[in-house]
Chains A and B, each alone.
Chain A
Amino acid sequence: MSSPALAAPATASERKPSSVTAALAAYRVPLSILALCLLPWLLPSKALAVNVLVYGVVAVGYNLLFGYTGLLSFGHAAFFGAGAYITGIAIGQFGVPWLVAVFLGILGGGALAFIIGGLTTRTRGIYFSMVTLALAQLVYYVALQASSWTGGENGLRGFTVDKINLFGTTINFLDPINKYYVLMMFAALALWAVSRILNSPFGAAIEAIRENERRARTCGYDVEKTKLLAFTLSGLICALAGTMSALHLAFVPLDVLHYHTSGMIVMMTLLGGARSFFGPFVGALAFLLMEDVFSLWTSHWQIIVGSIFILFVLFLPRGLWGTFLEKAVR
């Protein structure tokens, strides 16, 4: 069908990304890691930098499901919290080496994501969001009740990791800079893994499902199975962030499982830009910076952050990073 009727309309809608955008996309992992290397020297405190690292990884992991598969989960605190608790319990109560505890945390959080994903990914739209929220709250109350394991309302303590052995050398983990760069290696691994997933055939499949679920099914994709895999992978990354948080704080507050945490993850992702690879990380940075600055002025800092969030959703739906990529780079 190459007759005039089906020939191109004269409007220029060709997608020709600029060379800068293309380079940013091609080298997104090394560039992101470079940014992370510089981060602690640019922020007011090293503890804030570690927090950005932790929540940046959560948001990037969450975005695999939200931005790329198109599923709005309100329950990702469960996987973040599961990772943190499992790592803390493994170290504090079983004396497991820290690196093994990290893997246990990731696997445990991932297994929980597989279960909750299996129960939720067959529902759609608002029902999916509500069921993830409800199941995550269930996890919260289990942690509250199982206080002999989790410390209940007081949170989990007593698993301080002060020295770690890595590559044959002993590192003082209480030093904030050492801590940052050790945890940054995990963040770098997570970013690399997510980037590979997004570049894979599976990455194309989840985007197809986000774009048009019915068409994806008609094309031959098992939509339920694909969503469950995306949900589980996303949960694994969030659980990794949880283990990082546990190592960082040497404490797991019960709040990590609260739906406030789930909401915060959604806000960070939207703030940074849900359709971009690095956007969620930028969102976590922006959110935590705002919290840091505004909470000095007023204990009602959430009013300010919330208002800014609403303005973003209304006027910059692509988020900070997405808008930057669109406007400044092109």
Chain B
Amino acid sequence: MTAPLLAVENVGRRFGGFVALEGVTAAFQPGKVTSIIGPNGAGKSTFFNVLSGVLTPSSGSVRFKGKDLAGVRQHEFVHLGIARSYQITNIFPELSAHENVRVAAQAGRARYNIWTNRKRFSELDDKADAALVAVGLAAKRTETAKFLAHGQQRALEIAIALTSDPQVLLLDEPTAGMGPEETRDMVALLEKLASERTILLVEHKMKMILGLSDRILVLHHGRLIADGSPRDIQTDSEVRRVYLGQNDGYA
């Protein structure tokens, strides 16, 4: 077994007296798709926010390639190799699709250059175009992002995350608000991406998760109650109990 790419150890997060996350320990191997599920308020988003530097853990540690991420500021995560998308579409609405992706790609190359014409960084254009092609938005290159269809905006956000060529991609409900067809396309995209990088996914669509994931983590009231293959999770009695909200009637 190779060393884990990303490892959380005994991670907890409190908001005042409210415990959103407690004692979560897990390690993530390269090149796998892991889904994080749990009822509303289980701590999934908090867990993601801790992994992406939006929140600092109140206790425990997060390690990426062996490096402790304590004290690393949020904007530095993407430079280390951890990129994310958000549950509510988070793009640059007034910029074109290409500009959206290009400015994201630029963050790894030139952040404080105030004098060179940005057109001279032509490699960023190529990088941006490659990311748009990867998510199937090449034809929408010049379209203003706010005019794109919902599914296309979700794909654009993934393209933005891809420009940093991340080793770990955190996707918070990539199919939120999507119809069946759009969802199917997104799953195809995720399967393609999963061959090259580690993906962590928060999702509610159970069918999709079971087909896509190599591994599933189940959170409940901020605690990790199950961790295993989709088959294990499906047959786990504790998961069935919390997820379906019933004690009896299920074998």
Contacts and interface: CB of A to CB of B under 8 A. Distances in A.
Contacts of A226: 111-112
Interface string B65-95: 0000000011111110001101000111111
A229 interface: yes
Contacts of B177: none
Contacts of A9: 149
A3 interface: yes
Interface stretch (B21-29, B34-42, B115-123, B200-208): B115-123
A220 B108 contact: yes
A15 B185 contact: no
Contacts of B125: none
Chief secondary structure at chain A's binding surface:
helix
B111 A197 contact: no
> Which of A11, A204, A214, A223 counts the most chain B CB atoms within 10 A?
A204
A220 B74 CA distance: 8
Report, as a range, how many residues of chain B touch the other chain. Answer: 35 or more
Contact of A199 (B92, B117, B147, B179): B117
Interface in B42-80: 52, 73-79
B181 A3 contact: yes
Interface string A222-251: 110110010001000000000000000000
A330 interface: no
A222 B72 CA distance: 12
A204 B106 CA distance: 9
A124 interface: no
B3 interface: no
B189 interface: yes
Interface string A72-97: 00000000000000000000000000
A50 interface: no
Given A204-B102, A212-B93, A218 B181 contact: no
A211 B136 contact: no
Interface in A255-310: none
Nearest to B117: A199
B96 interface: yes
A29 to B, nearest CB: 12
Interface of A: 1-9, 11, 13-16, 196-197, 199-205, 207-208, 211-212, 214-223, 225-226, 229, 233
Given A201-B111, A220-B108, 10 more contacts: A1-B136, A200-B113, A200-B114, A201-B109, A203-B118, A208-B103, A214-B90, A218-B74, A218-B90, A222-B75
Closest 6 CB pairs of A and B: A1-B136, A5-B181, A220-B107, A201-B110, A13-B147, A211-B92
Interface of B: 52, 73-79, 83-84, 86, 90-96, 99, 102-104, 106-119, 121, 135-137, 139-140, 142-144, 147, 149, 151-152, 155, 160, 164, 179, 181-182, 184-186, 188-189
14 contacts: A5-B179, A5-B184, A6-B149, A6-B152, A9-B149, A201-B106, A201-B116, A202-B113, A207-B92, A214-B86, A215-B160, A217-B75, A218-B90, A222-B111
